[in-house]
Amino acid sequence: MKTSKPLKVTLVSVSDPVIYGNPLALGCLKTYADSVLKKRAAVTIRECGIELSLKDPAAAAAAILGDKPRVVGFSCYIWNALAVISLCRELKRSSPSTRIILGGADATARGAAVLKDSLADILVRGEGELTFTELLSRFLAGKPWAGTPGTVALADGLPVEGPPRPVIENLDIIPSPYLAGLFDSGDYHYFVHETSRGCPFRCKYCVWSNRGGVRTFSLERVRSELDWLAARAPLDVGQRDDRNIFRVFVTDQDLLMQGRRAREVLRYVRSGTEGRFMRWIIHCDLRYWDRATAAAADYGKFLFCFGVQSLDRRVLRLAGRTPLPPGELKKRLALVKKYAPKANVVFQLMLGLPGDTPAGFLKSLRGCLKACDRVRLPRVNNPLRAGVQVFHTAVFPNTQFEKDAAKFGMEWDRNPPYLIKRLDGFEEKDFARCYKEMRDPKYSAEGITGASRIMIGVHGRLI
């Protein structure tokens, strides 16, 4: 009896691995689909540079179609959205019968609009593993995709939304892409890693705000993945050039909010990475720092990113953030200085928040620079290094900021990365003034980046 060939599926990572690391999201899609569909589908991951996708989408599309996939999937983010759209259109031009699935933060945010722009067949909203696998199952069974839970499709130009799909409560049902060998090639020096999913916050600028409660992977799995990552880092033989350091970016919204569990993870990393040339980048809020957490964080391979956003309490409230009570910021910084002198820290600010002004932003900037000095310990071995990272505010589709745009006079670029151009209290010349101030040589001193104490970026990319 002749067996049918497996469904060929290509997941495409349009990225720059030096800047954005390994395609963890696509890895999770593959491992879960493999575990459910077994040999009925052959899912592969192909990486494609952003630059090639924008400059020569026909060549990039031809390389993808060389695998002869019947289904192609993309993770769509603000940094690669234009390249993904260009590639999708070229794929449809060259092979109209090839089905295209979009997922990721930007696809979730833009909804039907990104389908119209890209000519893709369907998009997956939010967490994708269950939905992606169901779409492949439907394809194998000859069933239509429109109406699948957790998706948006188009019918005669009109959006067809499937019912919401509940979040995955037991994350361990997704086999680990690391432990499955997906990233064994050794070509990466920057990895992304998650120990939990979900966010309890309601930040008005964020696409993912309050999307399900915080859910965690088992500590056993996390430890195994941390072992895998540490084993691939180069030995620390006194290298001084941080540009070649092995980095791990922890994608958790805030690892430290998990209290005791977070401390266990931090201690495990410390015990397993001695003698390795690497750095762990961890986002967190200072409100979750206590003495025990600071003690666990006292490690020179940790870089903690404090999401301060602004030091103006009214600006924070307008952004949906809850300011620390008066006086608590200094107390938390004192804990960092006293109990975590070896850690690296960066204070993150946002330029162009509603309710802010150029003078207010620069006051926050100088306040964070003073905070750097407050936690700096120049006379201890492996001294704590501190800096400030500034992100230009963006108005993402379907966020509260977009809904409140008229109230604050916000104007922004409607194409990714959706950078704000002006708002009440901030004209274009005011943004230029703030950038000029941040690039002033007076801030050139040894900091987290070596040459300067201030980093200027747009969602992970320095500009």
pLDDT tens digits for range 158-212: 999 999 999 999 999 999 999 999 999 867 889 999 999 998 888 999 886 556 6
Q: Is the peptide bond before 417 cis (omega within 30 degrees of 0)?
A: yes
pLDDT at 450: 47
Q: Which helix (H) or strand (E) holds 457?
A: strand 454-458
- Give residue 265's pLDDT: 98
Q: Please tell me the predicted confidence (pLDDT) of residue 212.
A: 64
What letter does residue 115 receive in the DSSP assignment? Answer: H
Give residue 234's region: left, alpha or beta (phi > 0; psi -120 to 50).
Answer: beta
What's the pLDDT tens digit per position in 384-435? 588 899 999 999 999 999 999 999 999 999 998 899 999 999 999 999 999 9
pLDDT value at residue 456: 80
* pLDDT given for residue 211 in this prediction: 60
| pLDDT score at 102 | 98
d(CA 275, CA 277): 7
Structure confidence at residue 446 (pLDDT): 52
pLDDT number for residue 384: 58
Q: Which residues of the chain have pLDDT under 70?
A: 1-3, 186, 208-212, 377-384, 444-452, 457-463
pLDDT attached to residue 264? 98
At residue 17, the pLDDT reads 76
Q: What is the DSSP string of 323-383?
A: PPPTTHHHHHHHHHHHH-TT-EEEEEEEES-TT--HHHHHHHHHHHHHHHHHH--TTSSS-
Structure token pair of residue 166:
């509940």
d(CA 395, CA 410): 9
